[in-house]
Structure 1
C-alpha cells in the first residue's frame, strides 16, 4: 500500500462579533478548546464588542459526536493521528482567517485569545502568521513542548499572558509549574502567568479586565 495526500478546498464556519471596518482598532481571534463549538464558545464575549473592537471565532475543522454516534457535537483542532499533517493544516487555516480579518480591518491590531487546546494551536502558529500578532492570551491550555525555533522567536516578541486555574482538572498545579519551568530552562522564556480561582473554564470577569489591559499596552 502507498499513502497519498491530496489538497481539497473546504468551507469552515467562523462566527464574528462586531463589525470589521477601517475604524476597528482591535481584532480578537478566539480559538476554542477540545470538544467545543464556536456557537457556544463565543457567548461570553457577546457584550464585549465595541466600535473599536471585534471578535472572530474560527471553528476547528474536525467535528465528532461527544458521546457515541449521536447527540452533542464537538470540534477538535487535531488528534494524535497524523498530528504533523494536522499542524500544517492548522497553519493554512489560520493563515486564511487572519488574512480575511486583516483585509476587513487593515489597521487593526490582531490579538489571539486561546482556550485549552486552542493554546497549543496558536503557539505552534506563531511565526507563521502572514499578519503581525500583537497579543496572545493563553487560557487554561498546555504549552507545546515541541515548539519550533520559529515559534519561540515570535513568542519572545509579542505580549503573552498565560492564565491557569488553581483547580483545573486537566492541567493541575504541578503540570502548570513544570510547563513554565520547561519554557524557562529549555527555551529561556520566562512568560507572564497568573492564577485564577476555579477549574477548566473561562472566567468572564477576568477576561473583560485582561482584554482591556492588553489592548491598552499597545495603543
Structure 2
C-alpha cells in the first residue's frame, strides 16, 4: 500500500502578541521548536512584547497532545504541541509550510504600515522551518535570527541555505548544555558563510531572551 496525497484547505493557529495597526514599527514572525507549546514559546519572548512591536507566533500544522505529567489528574486537558514536518511526508509538508506562512505574513503585513521592518525568528526545528520558508517563499523580510537551530536529517541544509536571499543572519547559541552539538551552531555558521550569507554568532544564557543579548536593541 502506497499513501496518496490530496491537497485540502485546513485551519492553522497562531498567537499574536500585539495587534496589526498604524502604530506598529516592527513585525516579528517567530517559529517555535519541536513539540513546544505556543504559550511556552511566548514566555521566552516576553521581553520583546512592546507596544510598537508585533510578534506573530504561528503553530506548526501537525498538532498532537503531549503526554500528561506525573501526578497530573487523568481528567486534565492535554497540552497541545506541534511539529513543522513529519519524516515520511517531508516534501508535501514543506510546500504546505511555505504556502501557510506566506499567506499569514501577507495578511498581517497588509494591516501594518507599508515597508515595516520584518524579523523572522526560528527556534530549534523552527529555525529549519524558517529557512525553508524564506528560501522558497515570497515574504519580504529584513533579517533572520536562528536560535539553537536544528535541521532534521531529511532536509538538505546546504541546498536550503543557498536559496536564502542576502539578508543579515544572527545565529544564537545557548551557554547551557541542554542542546545538541548541532544546536551549538559551528557547522551551521560555516554553511551560512559558504553560501555567501552575512552571518554572525551570539551567545545567550538560559531563560527569556532580551533584545540586548541578540544585538537587536530598538529593532
Q: TM-score range, shorter-chain basis?
A: 0.7 to 0.9
Is the aligned partner of 1:95 residue 2:96?
Answer: no
In 2, are the aligned partners of 1:164 and 1:176 still within 8 Å (CA)?
A: yes
Q: How do residues 38-187 of structure 1 correspond to structure 2 at under 5 angstroms?
A: 38-46=38-46, 48-67=48-67, 71-107=78-114, 108-142=116-150, 146-147=156-157, 151-155=161-165, 157-172=166-181, 176-185=185-194, 187=195
- 5+ residue gaps in structure 1? none
Once the two structures are TM-superposed, the CA of residue 47 in structure 1 deviates from its matched residue by 5.4
Superposed CA RMSD: 2.9
Once the two structures are TM-superposed, the CA of residue 134 in structure 1 deviates from its matched residue by 0.6
Separation (CA, whole Å) in 1 of partners of 2:157 and 2:182:
21
Comparing 173-182 with 30-39, which one deviates more in the overlay? 173-182
Separation (CA, whole Å) in 1 of partners of 2:213 and 2:183:
27
- Equivalent position to 1:204, from 185, 202, 208: 208
The Cα offsets for residues 116-139 of structure 1, whole Å up to 9 and x where unpaired, read as: 110000011114333311111111
Higher relative helix content: 1
Separation (CA, whole Å) in 2 of partners of 1:29 and 1:53:
11
Question: Are residues 28 and 124 of structure 1, via their aligned partners in 2, closer, same or farther at CA, if it must alter by over 3 Å?
Answer: same
Once the two structures are TM-superposed, the CA of residue 22 in structure 1 deviates from its matched residue by 2.3
* Count of matched residue positions in the alignment of Structure 1 and Structure 2: 209
Query: TM-score when scaled to structure 1?
Result: 0.80
The Cα offsets for residues 90-112 of structure 1, whole Å up to 9 and x where unpaired, read as: 11111111111111114222111
Once the two structures are TM-superposed, the CA of residue 52 in structure 1 deviates from its matched residue by 2.1
- 5+ residue gaps in structure 2? 69-76
SS of alignment partner, residue 104 of structure 1: coil
Separation (CA, whole Å) in 1 of partners of 2:169 and 2:214:
11
SS of alignment partner, residue 213 of structure 1: coil
Question: Are residues 182 and 149 of structure 1, via their aligned partners in 2, closer, same or farther at CA, if it must alter by over 3 Å?
Answer: closer
In 2, are the aligned partners of 1:166 and 1:172 still within 8 Å (CA)?
A: no
In 1, are the aligned partners of 2:192 and 2:198 still within 8 Å (CA)?
A: yes
In 2, are the aligned partners of 1:124 and 1:148 still within 8 Å (CA)?
A: no
Q: Which residue matches 2:74?
A: none
The Cα offsets for residues 4-37 of structure 1, whole Å up to 9 and x where unpaired, read as: 3222111111111112112312111111101112
The Cα offsets for residues 15-65 of structure 1, whole Å up to 9 and x where unpaired, read as: 111121123121111111011121231123345333421111111111123
